Amino acid sequence: MLYEPRAPSAAGIGLRSLRDIGGAFKSAALTALVALGLFSLLIGERTDQGPTGALVLTPRLEVLAILVAAAFVGGLVRALVLGRDTAAAGGLVPHAAREAAARIGGLAGPALLVFALATPLLFYHNRYLLDLAIQILTYVMLGWGLNIVVGLAGLLDLGYVAFYAVGAYSYALISHASGLSFWICLPVAGMLAACWGILLGFPVLRLRGDYLAIVTLAFGEIIRLVLINWQSLTGGPNGIAGIARPSFFGIPFSPGENGFANVFGLEFSPTHRVVFLFYLILALALLTNLVTVRLRRLPIGRAWEALREDEVACRSLGLNTTNVKLTAFAMGAMFAGFAGSFFATRQGFISPESFTFSESALVLAIVVLGGMGSQLGIVIAAVVMLGGFELFREFEQYRMLVFGLVMVAIMIFRPRGLVGTRVPSVFLAQRRAIAGDFVREGHG
Amino acid sequence: MEYFVQQLINGVTLGSIYGLIAIGYTMVYGIVGMINFAHGDVFMVGSFVALIAFLLLVSLGMTAVPLALVVVLLVAMALTALYGWTVERVAYRPLRHSFRLAPLISAIGMSIVLQNYVQIAQGARVKPLPPLIQGGFTLISSPEFSVQLSNVQIIVVLTTLVVMVIFAWLVANTRLGRDMRACEQDLKMASLLGVDTDRTISLTFVLGAALAAVAGIMYLLYYGVVDFFIGFVAGVKAFTAAVLGGIGSLPGAMLGGLLIGLIETFWSAYFSVEYKDVAAFSILIVVLIFLPTGILGRPEIEKV
């Protein structure tokens, strides 16, 4: 490639930057013009239902003006600051810094685990924080489950929430019908979800990456629509209420004679159940993590990762790709089923509302932001996402908008997520983390 | 029999709308090889732009419906095309050399953005529009059931036909169409032979969005209500249509759209309305499993 050497003379630089500024203004003006076109009708006029029921327009020109001005300034900043040498600026983190980050990363896992174990003790009197922690852990577990499918096996699953729904409804229906305890219903619900995973997976796993994604999306929607319409079984849009709450291995969390507090000689407090739920979901999430980490060292886990990197090569080496995909699907579905059971027993009420596509998108965003394949990254991503949602509660209206923008931005600026390194499962002499940028996934 | 004919008419009308959206999917998939997940929402934006443009015209005192419709059509096509262009420029172009699933994930993000943007800007409530075009013909009248062909249905089908003919001519006979076909066959080779691929891809999105805008207006006229969520289901159905017809094939998209429209209408008429979306989604799964190349598609050869 021809490379024009930069003239170091002051006059040359001055001229160049002058021209740069002119160009920047031009491109910013263009950005503003596009923004004006985009927002002119949808922002500039608001439609409301008038007193007669017909729509009336209310102009909102000031909002439009602010947005266009913002686009102009944004375009200017982008052209002036980010316009030059982006290639040199990004991507090249010094080797030493990366090494240090890796060393800290090694300690972060255990530290987080200790923190998680201590959370109920630290925040015993803060019910709000405990509930948030339980919610975050549920998503960490879902993220880890989906990570098996997306991160390890490289299959994009847009209908993951379907298995979550299957788990929740299975638990609710079985425990309603049979009155069996949580500890029996949980594995049954997980197995049912895994069966659904196999049932779906069997026909569709021959499909290519993005076709597979759309089919899983369709499957997720079918499950939701059936849940809404099969009134006699699922209660339709009203859902199922009065689901059995978990008991401490048979001892209920009630103020009565045989309640948890009485048996252990404590004063009754509703927080006991919350703390128990916290440790329950922590244990379930850690189980997911443990299984994933162990499976990565077994032939099946290695097959998943090989499949992600190159499906054609896998097939040439004699792997039965359908079976490999199927196990990944079933595994992921099973953990979603566990998480679903937990969700049902925690809420005591479930309805199809909780299992929409945006839920799937949220879990997927957690996995993607976490770096697709990194267990620690998913924890960080879940904390960032759900913590962010809570922090900006007042702006709830804008929450999903920002969420979508973040998803696009991650793909553009950090396609490998927050933890963008890959640690190989199989290595020759030394285990070395490599930047995700060096890993190119093949077609599959 | 009369009932059947009526459903046939309804199905063809609905199918025309799906076909127009499906073209956007099929063109983008043919050239860039990605599922433009946000395309359904671009369609939704198109119908909102049309709604507001129409209300604006009425408030400015334009009452002649045919003239207003033409103006609305042009405005909506132009603005929606701008949306299509922006989406490609912002969310897809930087990812052209990224890893395989990146564009799809980015497209999902864009779809969420568009939905919530319209929800915030225009509110979550359903927007009704009084019927603009009234009247129609009674084709067959019998004591039990008379078959109606409304003027709206005629306009929807005719507009679709006209737009399709113009579009087919564009692809077959213009420089842009030739570039598009070249890019569809081999993006790299086309760029080596002097086709400005970035520009062609941009224009593909622009054209797809403009067609989606036409579909949006037709939807608005036919149903009389829009809300910010119509893009999701319509998008999945139109994608199903594109796959059913054979992805990458323009006549296939139209054929698939018609088939999906007919299947959905007949399913609702003879089985159950509640499960009509389930039927559409199931068709998608069944088609992808048993007929992944679609009716008019070419088999995809995987090169190592």
pLDDT digits (tens, 9 = 90+) for A91-136: 445 566 666 666 666 777 788 888 888 888 788 778 888 889 999 9
Q: Do B289 and A207 touch (CB under 8 A)?
A: yes
Q: Do B49 and A312 touch (CB under 8 A)?
A: no
Within-domain flag for B285: no
Residue A430 confidence (pLDDT) = 65
Kindly report the number of other CB atoms within 10 A of residue A149's CB atom: 28
Domain count, chain B: 1
DSSP H helices, chain B, are 2-32, 39-60, 65-87, 102-122, 151-173, 175-185, 187-192, 197-223, 230-245, 250-270, 276-290
Residue A330 confidence (pLDDT) = 92
Question: Chain A residue with minimal CA distance to B279?
Answer: A222
All residues of chain B having their beta carbon less than 8 Å from the beta carbon of residue A45 are 52, 55-56
- φ, ψ of residue A45 to 5 degrees: the values are -130, 135
CA distances from A262 to A90, A253, A272 (A): 60, 9, 12
Classify A316 as helix, strand or coil.
helix
Residue A4 CA to residue A18 CA, distance in Å, equals 19
Within-domain flag for B267: no
Q: Tokens in use for A252?
A: 């209920």
ipTM value > 0.90 = no
- Is residue A20 classed exposed, middle or buried when 0-12, 13-18 and 19+ CB atoms within 10 A define those classes? middle
Inter-axis angle of helices A95-122 and A127-147, nearest 10 = 130
Task: Tell me which residue in B45, B109, B281 faces A408 most closely, judged by beta carbons.
Answer: B109
Q: Which of A30, A46, A47, A368 should one mutate to test binding to chain B, selecting the residue with the greatest count of B CBs within 10 A?
A: A47
Within-domain flag for B262: no
Residue A177 CA to residue A436 CA, distance in Å, equals 49
Residue A337 confidence (pLDDT) = 94
CA distances from A434 to A95, A213, A282, A431, B222 (A): 11, 28, 30, 10, 56
Residue A342 confidence (pLDDT) = 93
B81 near A CB under 8 A:
no
Residue A90 confidence (pLDDT) = 44
All residues of chain B having their beta carbon less than 8 Å from the beta carbon of residue A43 are 121
Within-domain flag for B44: yes
Task: Tell me which residue in A210, A401, A443 faces B116 most closely, judged by beta carbons.
Answer: A401
Q: How far is CA A112 from the centre of its chain?
A: 19
Size of interface A-B (CB pairs under 8 A): 182
Residue-by-residue pLDDT tens, chain B, 304 positions: 788 889 999 999 999 999 999 999 999 988 888 889 999 999 999 999 999 999 888 888 877 888 888 999 999 999 999 999 999 999 999 888 887 778 888 999 999 999 999 999 988 888 888 887 777 788 777 777 788 888 889 999 999 999 999 999 999 999 999 999 899 888 889 999 999 999 999 999 999 999 999 999 999 999 988 999 899 889 989 998 998 888 888 889 999 999 999 999 999 888 888 888 888 888 888 888 888 788 887 766 655 5
Q: Do B99 and A45 touch (CB under 8 A)?
A: no
Residue B186 confidence (pLDDT) = 87
- φ, ψ of residue A243 to 5 degrees: the values are -75, 140
* Cβ(A160)–Cβ(A217) below 8 Å: no
Contact residues for A85 (Cβ-Cβ < 8 A; gap 6+): none
All residues of chain B having their beta carbon less than 8 Å from the beta carbon of residue A210 are 34-35, 101, 104
All residues of chain B having their beta carbon less than 8 Å from the beta carbon of residue A404 are 109-116
> If contacts are CB pairs under 8 Å, which of residues 113-152 in chain B contact chain A?
113-118, 120-123, 125, 127-130
Least Cα separation, residue A166 to chain B (angstroms): 17
**Regions of chain A where pLDDT drops below 50:** 1-4, 7-8, 12, 85-92, 438, 440, 442-444
Q: Do B112 and A440 touch (CB under 8 A)?
A: no
B62 near A CB under 8 A:
no
Q: Do B56 and A45 touch (CB under 8 A)?
A: yes
All residues of chain B having their beta carbon less than 8 Å from the beta carbon of residue A34 are 82, 86
Residue A396 CA to residue A154 CA, distance in Å, equals 33
The closest of A80, A68, A67, A65 to A26, measured between CA atoms, is A80
Q: Are strands A240-241 and A55-59 parallel, antiparallel or unpaired?
A: unpaired
Report the DSSP beta bridge partners of residue A55.
A49
* Residue B101 belongs to domain spanning: 19-229
Contact residues for A84 (Cβ-Cβ < 8 A; gap 6+): A20
* Cβ(A444)–Cβ(A205) below 8 Å: no
CA distances from B77 to A166, B69, B85, B163 (A): 42, 12, 12, 12
Within-domain flag for B31: yes
Question: Any idea how long chain A is?
Answer: 444
All residues of chain B having their beta carbon less than 8 Å from the beta carbon of residue A218 are 236, 240, 281-282, 284-285
Q: What is the pTM of this model?
A: 0.86
A423 near B CB under 8 A:
no
Q: Do A38 and B82 touch (CB under 8 A)?
A: yes
The closest of A303, A274, A229, A305 to A124, measured between CA atoms, is A274
Rg of chain B, C-alpha, whole Å: 19
Residue A2 confidence (pLDDT) = 45
All residues of chain B having their beta carbon less than 8 Å from the beta carbon of residue A443 are 100, 302
